[in-house]
Amino acid sequence: MANITIHPRRSEDLEACLEVLQKVYKDSGYPVNGPSLPFLQGPQTLVSWVATIPCPDSSQPSSNHRVVGHIALATATDTDVAVNLWRSQNRPEPVFVLQRLFVDPAAQGQGIAEGLIRAVVDEGRRRGGSVVLFALIKDQVAMRLYEKLAWTEFGTAIFGEGKGEGVEKEAVCYVAPDERSRQGSEEQ
């Protein structure tokens, strides 16, 4: 991850994040409901990070870095399919949600997503909880990434707003590896 910086998202990063999210949506269809500022500023968001790379000729105001990725850690709500499934399995420990992960298609394959994921997992642990997420079955690249990083699948669920009224998609739910598992996967 040479020359990539990960730092908490600032308000001045939002426009650049939206530009990247629009590229991602055009490339992969993520997010399902399209890119928007409300998507980036969910009410359950605890903290968000961006990944940037040096860019001396940046079009982004007052910056010599270009935003290439984004991620957020959110509080758990029962409306999140991963949280709902996690809690239905009688798991009492605190839980947080990894969400809003995306990387500029032109910058993918450089370890940016892994660095962003590490920031979320570390913060979730610092706050005393596990970190869960869901990935839609259609997003096989994302699922392979989580599995490569030793996330554990704990079930499947149906994602869709207004179940039965909108587009419903099958999702796979994952939990971040515990510290021992993570260290073991990094040594391989």
Residue 116, domain CATH: 3.40.630.30
CB 33 within 8 A of CB 43: no
The encoded tokens of residue 22 equal: 């629009």
Q: What's the whole-model pTM score? A: 0.86
Q: Structurally, how many domains does the chain consist of?
A: 1
Q: Which residues contact 159 (CB under 8 A, 6 or more apart)?
A: 32, 81, 134, 136, 168, 169, 170, 171
* 188 neighbors 148 (Cβ within 8 angstroms): no
User: Which residue in the block uniquely carries the two structure tokens 């005393």?
Assistant: 128
- In sequence order, the β-bridge partners of residue 99 are 72
Residues (pLDDT < 70) of the chain are: 1-2, 56-63, 161-167, 179-188
pLDDT tens by residue, 70-89:
999 999 998 899 999 999 99
Residue 188, pLDDT score: 45
Give the strands of the sheet with 5-8, arranged side by side: 5-8, 45-54, 65-75, 95-103, 130-136, 169-175, 152-159
d(CA 137, CA 159): 10
Q: Which domain holds residue 55?
A: 5-187
